[in-house]
Amino acid sequence: MARTLVCEIVTPERIVYTNEVEMVIAPTVDGEIGILPLHAPLVTVLEPGELRVRYNDNKDVEWFAVSHGYLQVHEDKVIVLADAAAPAGQIDVDRARQALERLESRMSEIRERPSEERDGLSECEADLRWCEAQIKVAEKAG
């Protein structure tokens, strides 16, 4: 049996996932990172995107959409602290697409304003990336 590590995906509302896995692949500000057992201690910033966990001799994969947050590795444990996270099977793609359209429209309106009146643009961009991550994960895993 392959060596494992514990993976926890946590949001402010709940623990989304906890399980023993063989590998965690996560989106970071420096690109995608793969975490295996015995990985060096690490704290890094997450980017919105797809997070994958592999188990069962790397035959099985579970997909998650994650938003901004942090990833910590310490002693065969990976903790993902994200503003939002969702397993691929629980993502409502139609709802995410509708939210994406509304956000794109809102961003266009904000960009048309004078630069000193562009409050909310960075929040819109973050929400937009979260919607895109959900759609991408649901389509890949589905």
Task: Read off the pLDDT of each residue in 91-110 and give the average, rounded to a whole number.
Answer: 90
71 and 104 in a single domain? The answer is: no
Q: Which domain holds residue 54?
A: 5-88
pLDDT of residue 1: 59
pLDDT averaged over the chain?
91
| Same domain flag for 24 and 61 | yes
Check whether residue 9 and residue 70 sit in a common domain: yes
Query: So what's the pLDDT on residue 79?
Result: 97
Same domain as 82, residue 95: no
Beta bridge partners of 31: 28
Q: 14: domain CATH number? A: 2.60.15.10
Tens digit of each residue's pLDDT (9 = 90 or more) over 104-136 = 888 888 788 777 766 777 888 888 999 999 999
Q: Are residues 66 and 127 in the same domain?
A: no
The pLDDT confidence band at residue 142, using thresholds 50, 70 and 90, is low
Confidence of residue 58 (pLDDT cuts 50, 70, 90): confident
Co-location of 74 and 113 in the same domain: no
The answer to whether residues 14 and 47 belong to one domain is yes
80 and 46 both lie in a single domain: yes
Whether 108 and 59 map to the same domain: the answer is: no
pLDDT > 90 in the chain, percent: 73
For position 123, what pLDDT does the model report?
Answer: 84
In this predicted model, which residue has the larger pLDDT, 107 or 9?
9
**84 shares its domain with 103:** no
d(Cα 64, Cα 126) in Å, to the nearest integer? 17
pTM: 0.87
For range 16-34, the mean pLDDT = 96
* Range 77-101 average pLDDT: 94
